[in-house]
Structure 1
């Protein structure tokens, strides 16, 4: 009987462990990807206060951007159509586009940059480092040169320098580590990085090209996003947040929540529906697989969208939920409505308490 009891207890522990892992995975998939000081709700309110103080209430005066109206009906998934959509996002956010290079070959450029970094590492005669490095070139020199000749030389130069310095730091740490267990751990971490394609998991990036001998910036998007205009808009709105917040040195890009602030910047400028809807979506070609976009996650983006709507309603006599419900995915709509209901209830309770006679 004791043996059965122990077996049942072990089976129960396994079920609990599996449940906890599923809950953790759901938090990672749907929740914010970074730690938000004070918790998501307080962080959203504090950061919206900062954005309003820095940019005024004019972005809130404009109506939220609706996918059904913003994306042209004739969008055909071409690079030209996607670039026009990127420029439309610039115009809405009032971000000058004359110094921004939009492109849709991010994977190729990143592969070229990594291949360049690998060849530089070998050419600089750093034998001890090169012997440890597992970074691999995936492009022939002629392919890299052709991409540079096509106009991507500045992006390749900036990313190659970044790859090289990161690999030098990574391999130097391994070489200098004297504790064997710690060295093995560093090697395992490096192997995980080396085994992934350059830029793996990213669908867009922003680059400051001033160190690449060009007075401007670049917004590079993955070719995979071309077919989905909503993803193009969501990714572009986020990267334009970098253009403003990082490009004009308004926030420290090293702060832990810098990417989340950039997401909220896009929501503050009316693109909350896009970011919340695209936060979690099916992965093309992989049944039942999901991928994420942005750093607030679906939960954080939905709560931020609710806070955005609530502030607009407080500032002007507009509907708390304009024609948005039909534009929102079901899960996003439920989270947004739930958060709005909680905010309304909090205001009602505060009003009652303020009007209550003192004891």
Structure 2
């Protein structure tokens, strides 16, 4: 990963520490499981509002000020790139719109909610100006800082739904990627979010260092591609002597 990208990630997380404080840094970490997304989730209005409330509790967002609207995008064969989630402010309230079709992958659906609530915390709370060129990437980065990074990192480069039935992932080896090792190199993937898998991996590593957690137990919940970068990022930071002083800023 280029040094400039690492510096951008570190500067962003440093700023979030100044903005949101130590309590937010050491808050809850959400991981996939039935206690977070109950079995039988089909994205009814009630289920979705309950899930939004759970994600909001992790991220310190005001769930009572959020209105949830569900929509369904055209069938996959009729669409190429589409918005699976949207954030707006309407009459002083946060409105998030979510594609119900993504509920077939509850963990991905949860990641979409996290991204939209990160918009609410940055734009709705006027912590970031609207229209920044890197605004969406900074929004992804905030999901890491506010405890939802396992979900958003795993959703960054999803395998096809049919392939998810394998229920396993592998660590990359040398130049071999996870997709090559699982035999899915020629299969289409579903890209979600604005940070890449390696960027999410390094963000999780630096965030873990800021938390003082050199051996994060939650790392077993991230997929192989992200976990590889996370592990190498932790080694890089250990060799460097830890996190930088809090003098970073957004470029």
TM-score normalised over the length of structure 2: 0.78
> Distance in 1 between the 2:35 and 2:200 partners?
19
Structure-2 residue corresponding to 1:269: 146
Q: How does 1:1-359 map to 2 (within 5 A)?
A: 39-68=4-33, 70-79=35-44, 80-105=46-71, 107=73, 200-209=81-90, 214-284=91-161, 288-313=187-212, 319-347=213-241
Between the aligned partners of 1:101 and 1:72, the Cα distance in structure 2 is: 20
Distance 1:275 1:289 in 2: 19
Q: Do 2:30 and 2:36's aligned partners in 1 also have CA atoms closer than 8 Å?
A: no
Q: 1:225 to 1:321 in 2, by over 3 A?
A: farther
Higher helix share goes to which structure? 1
Maintained 8 Å contact 1:237/1:271 = yes
Please report how far the alpha carbon of residue 285 of structure 1 lies from its aligned counterpart in structure 2 after TM superposition.
Answer: 6.4
1:301 deviates by: 0.9
Secondary structure at the aligned position of 2:33 is classed as helix
Q: Which has the larger radius of gyration?
A: 1
- What is the aligned-residue RMSD (CA, Å)? 2.5
Structure 1: gaps (5+ residues): 1-30, 109-195, 314-318, 351-359
Q: 1:104, 1:222 within 8 Å by CA — same for their partners in 2? A: yes
TM-score by length of 1: 0.56
Deviation (angstroms), 1:71: 2.2
> Which structure 1 residue ranges, 4+ long, deviate > 3 Å from structure 2?
283-287
Is the alpha carbon distance of 1:70 and 1:45 closer, same or farther for their aligned partners in structure 2, counting shifts above 3 Å? farther
SS of 1:299 mapped into structure 2:
helix
1:84-103 deviation digits (Å, cap 9, x = unpaired): 11111112212112231112
